[in-house]
Structure 1
Amino acid sequence: MSETDDSLECGSCGETVPFDDARRTKTMGGLDPTTWQTLCCPSCGSRLETVFVGE
């Protein structure tokens, strides 16, 4: 995800979610949570995107 993206569209409920409003949850598949974050829709809880947050 580039820094210019400011919203994500939920494929489940169709809501457009501002990046800052997306819920951050524990990563799946053994990814390091200090390096990766999973963003979820605040309305329906579906996964929106997993983003790199580490260095």
Structure 2
Amino acid sequence: MPPIKKIVTWLLVIFLLYAIFTSPTDAANMVGSAWDVVTNGVGNIGRFFDSLIARS
């Protein structure tokens, strides 16, 4: 059986490079959107624990 994880990783890297080279503006927008989702998620987790501590 071929190493599936290694194959999938290489396919993902090739796809990302293709996306960056063919439309860099769209790729930058996608990365920016993903970063916004991550920062909002971390902020929401922080607010959850702040409110949890404040109720105690």
Task: Give the TM-score normalised by structure 1.
Answer: 0.19
Instruction: Return the structure number with greater helix share.
Output: 2
Structure showing the higher strand proportion among its residues: 1
Rg larger in 1 or in 2? Answer: 2
Q: Which has the higher contact order (CA 8 A, sep 6+)?
A: 1
